[in-house]
Copies of this chain bind each other. A is one copy, B any other.
Amino acid sequence: MSVLAETLRKHSSLSEKRIAKVAAAYKPFPTKHNQLLVRKGDVAKYLYFVEKGYLRVFVTDASGNQFTRFLIEEGMEGTAFPSFISQKISSASVQCVGKAEVLRISYDELQKLYQAVPEFERLYRKIIEMAYVSSIHRIETLISMNARERYLQLLKEKPKWFQQLPANVIAEYLGITKETLSRLKSTK
């Protein structure tokens, strides 16, 4: 049983038949190590569901520094969202963190799925709501906490990330340099 089907079951009251229909619309997409799924300047044509591993959504500044906007973990879906919903070019890139297994559905397929499975639209709304709430949480963290507080909060909320993700990705997500993160770890 795919992680996707389980996730659908958990977050909706769709019938098994409809779960199967939705799940079938997402196609496995084979990826390589650190593969870029959306490149800055592209239009994000697909929504990605993570079966295993992590995706990172990041932006770069003029000096080439990278900043991780979001980390998408197993059982979550995402893409360069502002580009995806507007179907305009993306300012962000999406990349596998190491090895990842993903499914994907195109923007057009997703629209068709709304027609074919009306309840799915409400589920999609819920997914967006959850994503929005988590982004609000992120904003609060960023405006109200210093680096150490953010680090400790993430350690508490997402302990797995520290085992499974390279430190520089975590640092980018926290909005600090990898050197600062390294020092926070050691002075615990």
B-binding residues in A (CB < 8 A): 59, 61, 65, 67-69, 81-82, 85-86, 91-92, 121-122, 124-125, 128-129, 131-133, 135-140, 142-144, 172-173, 175
Residues of B within 8 A of A124 (CB): 125
Contact A142 B144, beta carbon cutoff 8 Å? no
Cβ-closest chain B residue relative to A86: B133
Contact A132 B128, beta carbon cutoff 8 Å? yes
Q: Other CB < 8 Å A-B pairs besides A69-B136, A81-B132, 10 of them?
A: A67-B144, A68-B143, A69-B140, A82-B133, A82-B136, A92-B140, A124-B125, A128-B132, A131-B132, A144-B175
**Copies in the assembly, this chain:** 2
Contact B132 A125, beta carbon cutoff 8 Å? no
Contact B85 A129, beta carbon cutoff 8 Å? yes
Residues of B within 8 A of A131 (CB): 132
**A139–B69 CA distance with the chains assembled, in angstroms:** 7
**A81–B133 CA distance with the chains assembled, in angstroms:** 7
Q: A139 with B128: in contact, given A67-B144, A144-B59, A144-B61 (CB under 8 Å)?
A: no
Contact A143 B82, beta carbon cutoff 8 Å? no
Residues of B within 8 A of A133 (CB): 81-82, 85-86
Contact B136 A81, beta carbon cutoff 8 Å? yes
Would you mind naming 23 contact pairs between A and B with Cβ atoms under 8 Å apart?
A59-B140, A61-B144, A65-B144, A67-B140, A67-B144, A69-B136, A69-B139, A69-B140, A81-B132, A81-B133, A81-B136, A121-B122, A125-B125, A125-B128, A128-B128, A128-B132, A131-B132, A132-B132, A132-B135, A135-B136, A143-B172, A143-B173, A143-B175
